[in-house]
């Protein structure tokens, strides 16, 4: 059974059997010391940003414990870490490496003997990570370093950058043993190669082909035992027996372009697999804002990138594991390709996005979710242990998108719901209270927020049954006409309602993925904004282009970005 696990991947990995996974792909945080936000697109109201994860590691956040775990499980890796610690000290980078090392040791344990691991990283700490991977898997298990061009060139010089632009990510490929699962993949020939080598076109079929040598390698070498005979008036040592040669000639695969010339083999372009895939990947483009696949999650990778890795290093029915599954691209690719999968993430936001993604694009997928409340007792324990995660879970149960931590101005989540069949959307505000002592004042605050935001309705979520005063306060907000009939404008739900399945009388089909799609559709109908001079400066420079009709040696002069054409002009008023 496919599994989506909410929690620390180190603890989840302990529960996975040894040698049970065929392929591991991990795209861990890169220790960039940045905070990454997911941008929620919405067809109603304003877009909202929510912190997806904070890519900052500190020594005091459990690095010492991680180092001690490695000492107890893999002495060779522990020696690598202590050597690095002597150089790096107990700083943030060393904390990151210790946290990664203890997880890589566990990933090696669960990997089958025929399994492979792909670690996706950037130049921030890739050199240190490779040393640790060598310690975990052994230097002989390193297969290659893949370079993926993750973005196009950008003009950083205008922002004062004084080094080369970083446009590539690194993907380290390791195997557990020397006998690993492998499937060759091919990419199409480029047009220049086709024109140069497959320059012949067959009359009638219009098939492109090239001519290949059919003389035998080694020629007269007795050890090769190549057959020698006359064919079409030419005597040579040939690749094929006389019978095979005649059969190929009768089939039109061997031709003689002129009498006296050596016969050649006709190789058709449409029969060739293409170019064997190398380790420099420039053909898979990064996701841009208008891409239908993009859902607004930071560091989201293209589906084609994960499909390539999975196709190369696994077979149908194999188990794929992503311990930092983020928005679930590896899970999505594995499901599409008929593999079993396990996805793990420590943020509930990621789990929610993956659920939305599967619901939207893979509605037939079957999987279980581990680590989230399945009964009222577990939900109350979660509220007590981590109120913010409880808030995220509660908002998701009513079909909304949570706002996360920080100042929320009375808004813990929002719901975009259908008001009718004409694609008209309503807007609901969600307020979550995880405490025990909640009264009518909290409901009154929600009413004011609904009025301030001009929302259609409000949803109030609490642990216990509401008091009579809370119900009275909610009733004073009036009622709203919905497709399923009239409902209170402010509705109160309890944990018990969330577990049994809340019924707000609304259609909340707009999850994170569908909301992004609908928002893009709305955006496409709007007139595009004219870019500012500052935005143009950030665009990659265009190459010089020849002017049609001019001399071949003349090229167009690049326009300076402070040219008057790009700078708004202020019209002078005429004095009367």
HEC readout, 172-196:
EEEECCCCCCCCCCEECCCHHHHHH
Q: Quick one: 253 and 271 in the same domain?
A: yes
Q: How many CA atoms lie within 13 Å of 482's alpha carbon, on the beta-carbon side?
A: 21
Element (H, E) at 445: helix 440-452
Residue found by looking up tokens 């509660």 in the block: 394
Listed in sequence order, the residues at least 6 apart from 441 whose beta carbon sits closer than 8 Å to its beta carbon are none
User: Rounded to whole angstroms, how far apart are CA atoms 5 and 342?
Assistant: 8
Examine the domain organization and report whether 269 and 287 are in the same domain.
no
560 within a domain of the structure (yes/no): no
pLDDT tens by residue, 282-333: 999 988 877 888 887 777 899 999 999 999 999 999 999 999 998 999 999 9
Read off φ and ψ for residue 462, nearest 5 degrees: -140, 170
Which residues sit opposite 470 in a β-bridge? none
* Residue 217 · residue 305 · CB < 8 Å: no
* Residue 246, phi then psi, degrees to nearest 5: -65, -40
In terms of domains, do 123 and 43 share one? yes
**How far, in Å, CA of 43 to CA of 514, rounded?**
10
Whether residue 201 is found in the same domain as residue 178: no
Q: Any idea which residue has 């898979």 for tokens?
A: 284
Return the CATH number at 414. 3.40.1350.10
Residue ranges of the chain with per-residue pLDDT less than 70: 30-57, 60-61, 153-159, 405-408, 420-423, 508-529, 533-576
pLDDT in tens, 462-515: 999 999 999 999 999 999 988 778 999 999 999 999 999 888 888 765 555 655
- 523 within a domain of the structure (yes/no): no
- Note whether residue 364 is domain-resident: yes
Is residue 22 a part of any domain in this protein? yes
* pLDDT in the model for residue 448: 95
The pLDDT value given to residue 449:
95
Residue 239 lies in a domain: yes
For the chain, the straight-line distance linking the first and the last C-alpha, in angstroms and rounded, comes to 83
The answer to whether 257 touches 210, Cβ cutoff 8 Å, is: no
CB 254 within 8 A of CB 214: yes
Domain residues for the domain of 237 are 187-275
Same domain, 470 and 488: yes
Residue 574 lies in a domain: no
Asked if residue 200 and residue 168 are part of one domain, the reply reads no
CB 404 within 8 A of CB 395: no
Beta strand 254-255 with 264-268: parallel, antiparallel or unpaired? Answer: antiparallel
For residues 306 and 455, state if they share a domain: no
Q: Let me know whether 301 and 169 are in one domain.
A: yes
Domain count of the chain?
A: 3
Averaged pLDDT of the chain: 85
Residue 152 pLDDT: 73
Q: Beta partners for 426?
A: 417
Which residue, of 510, 525, 557, is where some domain finishes?
A: 510
The predicted pLDDT at position 550 comes to 46
Q: Is 424 among the domain residues?
A: yes
C-alpha separations of 113 from 23, 176, 343 in Å: 11, 6, 21
Q: Is the pTM of this model over 0.85?
A: no
> Is residue 61 located within the same domain as residue 157?
yes
Write down which residue in 275, 298, 317 finishes a domain.
275
Do 262 and 288 belong together in one domain?
Answer: no
Strand ranges, E, within 361-512: 367-370, 401-402, 413-418, 425-433, 457-462, 479-482, 485-488, 490-494
Q: Are residues 125 and 23 in the same domain?
A: yes
- Residue tagged 């973005």 (tokens): 151
Q: Which residues of 83-106 are buried (b: 16+ CB within 10 A; e: fewer)?
A: ebbeebeeebbbbbbbbbbbbbbb
Pairing type for strands 319-322 and 21-26 reads parallel
CA atoms of 253 and 387, how far apart (whole Å): 73
Main-chain dihedrals φ then ψ at residue 4, nearest 5 degrees? -115, 115
- Which of these three, 479, 510, 541, is where a domain ends? 510
Strands 48-55 vs 34-40: parallel, antiparallel or unpaired: antiparallel
Strand partners, 276: 186
The answer to whether residues 299 and 386 belong to one domain is no
* Residue 77, token pair as written in the block: 């890796």
Q: What is the CATH number of the domain that holds 127?
A: 3.40.50.150
Confirm whether 355 is domain-assigned.
Answer: yes
């Amino acid at each position: 059974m496919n599994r989506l696990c909410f929690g620390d991947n180190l603890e989840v990995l302990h529960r996975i059997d040894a040698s049970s996974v065929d392929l591991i792909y991990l795209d861990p945080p890169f220790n960039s010391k940045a905070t990454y936000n997911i941008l929620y697109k919405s067809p109603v109201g304003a877009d909202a940003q929510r912190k997806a994860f904070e890519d900052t590691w500190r020594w005091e956040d459990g690095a010492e414990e991680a180092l001690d775990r490695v000492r107890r499980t893999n002495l060779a890796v522990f020696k690598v870490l202590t050597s690095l610690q002597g150089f790096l000290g107990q700083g943030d980078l060393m904390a990151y490496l210790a946290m990664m090392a203890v997880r890589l040791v566990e990933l090696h344990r669960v990997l089958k003997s025929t399994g492979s691991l792909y670690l996706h990283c950037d130049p921030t700490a890739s050199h240190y990570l490779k040393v640790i991977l060598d310690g975990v898997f052994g230097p002989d298990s390193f297969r290659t370093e893949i370079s993926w061009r993750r973005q196009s060139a950008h003009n950083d010089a205008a922002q004062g950058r004084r080094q080369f632009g970083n446009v590539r990510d690194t993907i380290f490929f390791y195997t557990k043993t020397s006998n690993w699962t492998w499937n060759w993949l091919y990419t199409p020939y480029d047009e220049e190669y086709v024109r140069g080598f497959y320059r012949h076109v067959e009359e009638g079929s219009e098939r492109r082909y090239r001519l290949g040598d059919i003389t035998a390698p080694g020629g007269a070498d007795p050890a090769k035992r190549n057959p020698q005979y006359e064919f079409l008036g030419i005597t040579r040592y040939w690749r094929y027996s006389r019978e095979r040669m005649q059969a190929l000639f009768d089939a039109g695969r061997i031709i003689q372009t002129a009498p006296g010339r050596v016969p050649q083999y006709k190789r058709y372009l449409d029969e060739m697999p293409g170019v064997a895939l190398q380790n420099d990947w420039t053909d898979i483009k990064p996701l841009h804002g208008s891409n239908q696949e993009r859902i607004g999650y930071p560091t989201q990778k293209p589906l084609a990138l994960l499909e390539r890795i999975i196709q190369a290093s696994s077979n149908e029915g194999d188990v794929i594991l992503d311990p930092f599954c983020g928005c679930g691209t590896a899970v999505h690719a594995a499901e599409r390709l008929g593999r079993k999968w396990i996805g793990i993430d420590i943020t509930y936001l990621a789990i929610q996005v993956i659920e939305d993604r599967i619901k939207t694009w893979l509605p037939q997928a079957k999987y279980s979710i581990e680590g989230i409340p399945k009964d009222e007792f577990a939900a109350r324990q979660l509220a007590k242990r981590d109120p913010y995660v409880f808030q995220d879970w509660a908002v998701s149960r009513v079909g909304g998108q949570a706002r996360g931590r920080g100042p929320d101005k009375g808004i813990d989540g929002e719901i975009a719901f259908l008001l009718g069949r004409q694609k008209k959307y309503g807007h609901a505000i969600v307020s979550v209270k995880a405490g025990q002592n909640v009264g009518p004042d909290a409901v009154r605050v929600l009413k004011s927020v609904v009025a301030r935001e001009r929302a259609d309705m409000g949803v109030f979520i609490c642990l216990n049954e509401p008091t009579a005063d809370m119900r009275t306060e909610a009733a004073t907000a009036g009622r709203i006409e919905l497709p399923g009939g009239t409902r209170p404008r402010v509705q109160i739900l309890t944990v018990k309602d969330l577990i049994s399945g809340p019924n707000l009388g609304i259609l909340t089909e707009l999850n994170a993925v569908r909301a992004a799609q609908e928002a893009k559709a709305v955006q496409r109908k709007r007139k595009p904004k004219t870019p500012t001079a500052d935005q143009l400066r950030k665009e990659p420079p265009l190459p010089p282009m020849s002017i049609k009709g001019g001399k071949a040696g003349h090229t167009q002069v690049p326009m300076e970005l402070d040219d008057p054409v790009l700078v708004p002009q202020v019209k002078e008023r005429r004095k009367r």
